[in-house]
Amino acid sequence: MPLAPLTVEQQLARLCEQGDPGLLLRGRVGLEKESLRVAKSGGLAQTPHPAGLGSALTHPWITTDYSEALLELVTPPFPDPGQALEFLRELHTYVYRQLDEEILWSTSMPCVLAGGDNIPVARYGSSNAGQMKTIYRVGLGYRYGRVMQVIAGVHYNYSFADEFWPMYQQLLGEQGDLRAFTDARYMGLVRNLQRYGWLIPYLFGASPAVCKSFFLGKTPGLEVFDETTFYEPWATSLRMGDIGYQNRREEGMGIKANYDGLEDYVASLYQATHTSALLWEELGVKVNGEYRQLNANILQIENEYYSSVRPKQILQDNETPSMALTRDGIAYVELRSLDVNAYHPLGVDQRQLCFLQTFMSWCLLHASPRISLSERREIDRNILKVAHEGRRPGLELVHEGESVPLSGWGTELLNAMQPVAKVLDEQAGDGRFQQALDEQIEKMRDPELTPSGIMLSEMRENGEGFYQFARRLSQMQCNYFSKQALADASLLRLDELTLESMARQKHIEEADSMDLDSYLAAYFAQ
């Protein structure tokens, strides 16, 4: 008879008695933060990506997402979350020096929009690689509409220290290939992040309201807050709800990523990117000599598949994400469900990062069986329920087929994380992890302490619609960054990267040796 798996507490005890608990603290944190550039008029900026920020194709830290106006700021991984935040502060400060009377929008849900035609698709130059990135985005617009694509978020990238894995394998008494062990444990972490992922929109959701212009004159199933704003009174994160970016059509086609193991995950995405879909065939791929989409497959490329969490590996050259995972296994995990924190200039704060590190560690240590079809349905329903009505008094979710109160289940999960926070604090020499955890427990006791609750309360108190609220905070953050200093060395390095990225883009364009059609054929033949 196989031995029962060790509990979280038992694993932590072994780590402290036989291993190096400091390795649990020394995980690496990277951040990606999206922000819309907004014109002085309050509408979406129609200007190109600022030349002073370099090439969006090749700059390692400053790029764009779907739109020319949707900036994405990226930090490298750091062993200390505070370092990641400081790097993000420097990027924001540098960006603001290049903006001409534009501001960065403070919320996930966008500013006043004037329809999809007024959302400029991101451009990456004339190279085959640059054109491919643009065509992919054009395809997203045809498939799902452009408006949905300008919702912003924060992505949290986390990896455990390289030295942690052989020690952890030894502590568990497991034999075999280290990479296989690491991949299996990371996939277990990914499954638990999905199981318990509803905690993220509840605790940190900051999009309970949205500008009416988002719906292009249509009437959604939301309530009217005022003449400019739709909302849901108990919502936490409409971004994570029905109005956000989802692959609904893909679900209807029966495609769902398989998280049983890394090979299963890769195989499921391969199927989706190599299976033609009638709906997308009808759109056409190349119409009148211009690409409407990269192909007519269920997914154009793997990135099109929306998931709140992804296993990741650093890409080399022109390889696909799955090829990178197959080559070297999982390097880190990307959590994608964080709304932009409207109350912090960086869109995320230290307390959030401390909690997320605790959450990641607990999800790794906690038992993580495969996700059955019935559990997958539970996970999807729970996320939607929390997104749209997470603060509703007495709200119940479904856990293992049974209805359970959100507040009770959430408190139970957060309390279960306390031993992890204790070990992290012992290694850090302070109480910041427990403090962050306590703050989240309080939100379970009082939903109005959540960012979504605070946001709606403030809008009511000030008589502000969503636009007025977001514009006010955006201007405050603009004023904040205008007063921020930037060290000479940081300024010099960022200036150098601007020039280097532009030179790199030019080199890529000049080095192209085949036409675009041949390039795309070669890419998808990998």
Look at residue 248 and tell me whether its pLDDT is greater than 80.
no
Report residue 365 as tokens.
């240590």
For residue range 496-520, list pLDDT tens digits in order: 999 999 999 999 999 999 999 999 9
For residue range 68-97, list pLDDT tens digits in order: 999 999 999 999 999 999 999 999 999 999
Task: Give, in order, the Cα–Cα distances in Å from 108 to each of 150, 198, 207.
Answer: 9, 18, 7
Report residue 54 as tokens.
């370099």
For 93-117, what is the HEC assignment?
A: HHHHHHCCCCEECCCCCCCECCCHH
Q: Tell me which residue has tokens 């939607």.
A: 384
pLDDT attached to residue 318: 83
Report residue 228 as tokens.
């400019």
Q: What is the mean pLDDT of the chain?
A: 95
CA distance 210 to 343: 16
Nearest to 244 by CA among 106, 336, 164: 336
For residue range 214-238, list pLDDT tens digits in order: 998 787 889 999 999 999 999 999 9
pLDDT attached to residue 70: 98
For residue range 395-415, list pLDDT tens digits in order: 999 999 999 999 999 999 999
Look at residue 211 and tell me whether its pLDDT is greater than 50.
yes
DSSP assignment letter at 253: T
pTM score, whole prediction: 0.96
pLDDT attached to residue 219: 78
Helix (H, G, I), strand (E, B), or coil: what is residue 38? strand
Query: What angle (nearest 5°) sits at the alpha carbon of residue 416, between those of residues 410 and 417?
Result: 95
CATH of segment(s) 8-524? 3.30.590.20
pLDDT attached to residue 249: 44
For 366-431, what is the HEC assignment?
A: CCCCCCCHHHHHHHHHHHHHHHHHCCCCCCEEEECCEEEEHHHHHHHHHHHCHHHHHHHHHHHCCC
Least confident of 39-43, 228-232, 349-353, 357-361: 39-43
The residues near 308 (Cβ < 8 Å, ≥ 6 apart) are 193, 194, 197, 200, 240, 335, 336, 337, 383
Predicted confidence band of residue 244 (pLDDT cuts 50, 70, 90): low
- Considering all CA atoms of the chain, what is the largest pairwise distance in Å, rounded to the nearest integer? 69
3-class SS shares of the chain: helix, strand, coil, % to 5 = 50, 15, 35
Helix (H, G, I), strand (E, B), or coil: what is residue 369? coil
Look at residue 254 and tell me whether its pLDDT is greater than 70.
no
DSSP assignment letter at 339: P
Look at residue 202 and tell me whether its pLDDT is greater than 80.
yes
Contact status, residue 47 vs residue 71, Cβ threshold 8 Å: no
pLDDT attached to residue 5: 84
CA distance 199 to 359: 10
Look at residue 253 and tell me whether its pLDDT is greater than 80.
no
CA distance 274 to 378: 28
Predicted confidence band of residue 255 (pLDDT cuts 50, 70, 90): low
Contact status, residue 321 vs residue 315, Cβ threshold 8 Å: yes
Least confident of 119-128, 148-157, 219-228, 454-463: 219-228
> What is the sign, positive or negative, of the torsion defined by CA atoms of 457, 463, 465, 466?
negative
CA distance 258 to 256: 6
Report residue 154 as tokens.
């924060």
Q: What percent of the chain has pLDDT over 90?
A: 92
Segment 206-210 mean pLDDT: 98
Report residue 378 as tokens.
């539970």
> What is the sign, positive or negative, of the torsion defined by CA atoms of 202, 203, 206, 209?
positive
Segment 310-324 mean pLDDT: 93
pLDDT attached to residue 374: 95
Helices 178-195 and 262-273: angle between axes, nearest 10 degrees: 70
Look at residue 245 and tell me whether its pLDDT is greater than 60.
no
pLDDT attached to residue 526: 78
The residues near 289 (Cβ < 8 Å, ≥ 6 apart) are none
Contact status, residue 81 vs residue 357, Cβ threshold 8 Å: yes
The amino acid at 49? H
pLDDT attached to residue 216: 83
pLDDT attached to residue 416: 98
For residue range 169-201, list pLDDT tens digits in order: 999 999 999 999 999 999 999 999 999 999 999
pLDDT attached to residue 251: 44
Which residues is 64 bridged to in the sheet? 71
Phi, psi of 284, deg, nearest 5: 90, 145
